Chains A and B, each alone.
Chain A
């Protein structure tokens, strides 16, 4: 028997209304002709035009995407290494510190991460003359550091579920450790690596607080630009920007969901087939 009491259903409706009404309102008002962002003045798409012809916005978007791609990629490599190391090497000197270092950035308040990185970069510049100027490099280094631990979490969760017997079989058949990793481990955990990269990419693309500390003159990422604009109040072109972002993400997530669903189905079908052939 399946009970779905009226109370639970109504709170679900309320909850989703709470989550989505602000977003829907923002989308509706992005087509508002009025300059006053909160008063309806007829339909218009002029804010999209003004947004897309705004060079500062485009430059900030390009910078943000560059930082996100570079930092997500390096964070995924380092984070995957850490995830495999934690799952496969249960005993090595300094493992406690290592697992602490991998979880600490997850719970560290962003303000503290930001300020400690900034002090670090300033002191390094003072002592060894690097980094000479804060900007792309410092933001990317900071993003790699706090994105990689998210990748590690995703990857090590997946590693725990994988079957070690295949790796051991490959070792017995004469594969060298690095061959085992590239031929067996990485393909097996590839879904986790992909979702780790996507997670790192979105976290980097979305970061405001840490970027606001470690950025330098001339390096304004999109969130920093939005933050400085929004501090002054509600503006219609930000509504347009939000709508574009939500539509992009919505399509991306839906597509990813469908692809994952299909590949899962195909995998299950293949597994069934394989079992049947074994009989």
Chain B
């Protein structure tokens, strides 16, 4: 069979080159390059030109002012603190609700398990925005849910403390509640994946040796599910900390989270270097837990 030089080259090298090259080039141009531009932008100087930045001028090449502002200006520090706090509380609550749910899923019969797992995933396939919106309907002053909570509160407390409605909308509480709601599946699924693999005979062995159920949980189940806990925690914390939609819809506008700050610096203030510096700072904040996680995972792999 006579094959041209091109065909031979294509079979030997070209085919591999194409498979690797096409997605590689795409990601370098449309992901890496934009990202590097943002990193470079974070040390540029804001100017009233279009586009509103320059290198040089008063600050020869590198201008560290945006970063010093991130670290000293109360506005940015408060926003970072709000983001971390909201994301952290949401992560802990997701864990507290998600862990027993994941454990429960491993204990129900197999046919139930398929249905219930599908029900965990189903909200993920519906619109994220509409899930946030569902809570706007529930938390509003006139809703049946708010009315229920109000009645409950009024029955429990003395008459003087009676309220007409529970002020839930536009608070950090609302932000955390909706974050827990939207990110709960991200916590349940990795937890379920790691709990499902556990050997039930270990539990039985511990029981036979005289452990109480809670001791079995603390000594046997919990330590083995730590990879799942870390994975779920990261999957909740990282998107929650950078969240833009939830705080903009149910959050307190006077306590902005970091995503809103980035958007405002870029859009309203037209200060690209500042927006980039805040973005880079947020990324550093994300990278630290990710590094801890991957190091932990590498260690766990090494131990095997």
Whether A39 pairs with B142 at a CB distance below 8 angstroms is yes
Q: A16-B116, A111-B244, A112-B262 are in contact. Are A98 and B24 (CB under 8 A)?
A: yes
* Residue ID in chain A nearest B261 by CB atoms: A111
Contacts of B82 in A (CB 8 A): none
Whether B38 pairs with A116 at a CB distance below 8 angstroms is yes
Interface residues of B in 230-249 (CB under 8 A from A): 234, 238-239, 241-242, 244-245, 248-249
Whether A15 pairs with B101 at a CB distance below 8 angstroms is yes
Q: Is B122 an interface residue (CB 8 A)?
A: yes
* Residue ID in chain B nearest A3 by CB atoms: B107
Whether A2 pairs with B129 at a CB distance below 8 angstroms is no
Q: How far is the CB of A119 from chain B (nearest CB, A)?
A: 6
Interface residues of A in 101-139 (CB under 8 A from B): 101-102, 104-105, 107-113, 115-120, 122-123, 126
* Residue ID in chain A nearest B136 by CB atoms: A234
* Residue ID in chain B nearest A4 by CB atoms: B107
Q: Is B193 an interface residue (CB 8 A)?
A: no
Give the dominant DSSP class at A's interface: helix
Please classify how large the interface on chain A is, using the bins under 10, 10 to 19, 20 to 34, 35 or more.
35 or more
Whether B26 pairs with A107 at a CB distance below 8 angstroms is no
Measured CA separation A234–B51 after assembly (Å): 38
Whether A22 pairs with B138 at a CB distance below 8 angstroms is yes
Whether A148 pairs with B137 at a CB distance below 8 angstroms is no
Q: Is A7 an interface residue (CB 8 A)?
A: yes
Measured CA separation A91–B181 after assembly (Å): 42
Name the one of A81, A110, A117, A123 contacting B30, with C-beta atoms under 8 angstroms: A117
Contacts of A242 in B (CB 8 A): 126-127, 130, 133-134
Measured CA separation A126–B262 after assembly (Å): 22
Contacts of A92 in B (CB 8 A): 16, 20
Contacts of A36 in B (CB 8 A): 142
Whether A117 pairs with B129 at a CB distance below 8 angstroms is no
Q: Which residues of B contact A (CB under 8 A)?
A: 10-11, 15-16, 18-20, 22-24, 26-28, 30-35, 37-38, 41, 51, 97-98, 100-101, 103-105, 107-109, 116, 118-123, 125-138, 140, 142-145, 181, 184, 204, 213, 234, 238-239, 241-242, 244-245, 248-249, 258-259, 262-263, 266, 272, 275-276, 279, 282-283, 286, 290
Having A108-B35, A109-B241, one finds 5 other A-B pairs with CB under 8 Å, namely A4-B108, A108-B283, A122-B51, A149-B27, A208-B128
